[in-house]
């Protein structure tokens, strides 16, 4: 709702660097992907604002003499991933979520929501740092050894070196298995390959940077100011409180606006808005299938009902 209002009122400007971002967790309902695809088409084809799908990913590097994994993002297109037919597609079977869990080594929970932070907040910031550099493609991230260095043997050795014993090492290596088998390099990606609008020079400039490795600073004295507009509703005060708390502890130059919350726009108003549109998020009423389908924040009773509903939907 918020994005369409901004677009239709002409409040977004591609020459200013404005961009829409969808963070794919790979754990969404199939109807969500179709809805976002339609939303992206209107955003780009009717209003000329780039719309990117991004995913959390990891790559290998070295720090203090040790091989390790780092978190980042990758651009994906709007069709399903297939290693042979569409390697640039979006993941849809929990793969991104699994890589994030393997990266952190523990499951997210209500008190440590590593999923939101890792797959959405930090992933978006990584994207913004490269997007605002106004270059043609993202940087290649990872080493040049030609083969993975974070192997099971390396992970096992580092665990023993840190802990001084073998106790628990087998369980730790199992938790890192998905990470070990993930791609060890994030290749450079052209922005224009993942958006029909793509990247453009900022207003007042004539060209894009040819330096793929360029990024802008989002923290510190030389940080670039930028604005994030988030569609949190007026009846979601707890979500707003968490975002404000995060903003207060973050030293970035980001300014967050939540206009739907400020205007008191609730769920009913949002439903009425979408009922008048040519397309909608076609999820069943009465059960919360939005966002990650089986998100632990929905509660045990809701998850039991979701499981029952999904069995009916999937046949």
Q: In the predicted model, what is the mean pLDDT of the chain?
A: 93
**Tens digits of residue pLDDT in 274-287:** 999 999 998 876 77
What does the pLDDT look like over 218-266, one tens digit per residue?
988 889 999 999 999 999 999 999 898 888 777 788 999 999 999 999 9
Residue with tokens 């130059």: 253
**Position 21 pLDDT exceeds 60:** yes
Predicted structure pTM score: 0.93
CA 210 vs CA 54, 203, 213: distances in Å: 22, 18, 9
For 68-101, b/e burial (b = at least 16 CB within 10 A) is: ebbbbbbbbbbeebeeeeeeebbbbeebbbbbbb
Q: How confident is the model at residue 111 (pLDDT cuts 50, 70, 90)?
A: confident
Structure tokens at 93: 């079977």
- The gap from C-alpha 144 to its chain's centroid, in whole angstroms, comes to 26
Report how far residue 175's alpha carbon sits from residue 128's, in angstroms, rounded to the nearest whole number.
Answer: 30
Please report the pLDDT score of residue 22 as a whole number: 98
Q: Over the stretch 297-306, which tens digit does the pLDDT of each residue have?
A: 999 999 998 9
Report d(CA 31, CA 35) in Å as an integer.
6
- 3-state SS, residue 158: helix
Q: What pLDDT does 201 receive?
A: 73
Identify whether the C-beta of residue 131 lies closer than 8 Å to the C-beta of residue 199. Answer: yes
Other C-beta atoms lying within 10 Å of the C-beta of residue 132: 19
Secondary structure (3-state) at 157? helix
């Amino acid at each position: 709702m918020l994005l369409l209002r901004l677009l239709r009122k002409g409040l977004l400007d591609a020459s200013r660097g404005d961009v829409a971002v969808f963070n794919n967790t790979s754990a969404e309902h199939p109807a969500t992907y179709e809805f976002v695809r339609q939303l992206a088409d209107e955003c780009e084809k009717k209003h000329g604002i780039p719309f990117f799908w991004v995913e959390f990913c990891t790559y290998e590097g070295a720090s203090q003499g040790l091989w390790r994994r780092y978190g980042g993002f990758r651009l994906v297109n709007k069709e399903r991933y297939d290693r042979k037919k569409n390697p640039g597609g979006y993941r849809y079977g929990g793969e991104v979520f699994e890589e994030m869990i393997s990266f952190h080594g523990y499951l997210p929970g209500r008190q440590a929501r590593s999923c939101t932070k890792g797959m959405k907040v930090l992933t978006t910031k990584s994207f913004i740092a490269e997007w605002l550099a106004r270059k043609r493609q993202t940087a290649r991230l990872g080493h040049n050894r030609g083969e993975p260095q974070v192997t099971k043997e390396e992970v096992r050795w580092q665990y023993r070196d840190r802990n001084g014993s073998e106790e628990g090492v087998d369980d730790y290596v199992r938790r890192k298995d998905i990470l070990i088998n993930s791609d060890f390099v994030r290749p450079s990606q052209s922005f224009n390959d993942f958006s029909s609008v793509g990247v453009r020079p900022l207003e007042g400039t004539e060209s894009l940077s040819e330096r793929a490795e360029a990024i802008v600073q989002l923290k510190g004295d030389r940080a670039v100011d930028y604005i994030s507009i988030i569609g949190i509703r007026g009846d979601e005060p707890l979500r707003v409180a968490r975002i404000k708390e995060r903003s207060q502890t973050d030293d970035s130059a980001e300014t967050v606006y939540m206009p739907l919350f400020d205007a008191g726009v609730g769920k009913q108003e949002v439903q009425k808005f979408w009922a008048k549109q040519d397309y909608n998020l076609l999820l069943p009423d009465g059960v919360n299938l939005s966002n990650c389908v089986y998100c632990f924040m929905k509660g045990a009773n809701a998850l039991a009902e979701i499981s029952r509903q999904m069995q009916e939907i999937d046949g």
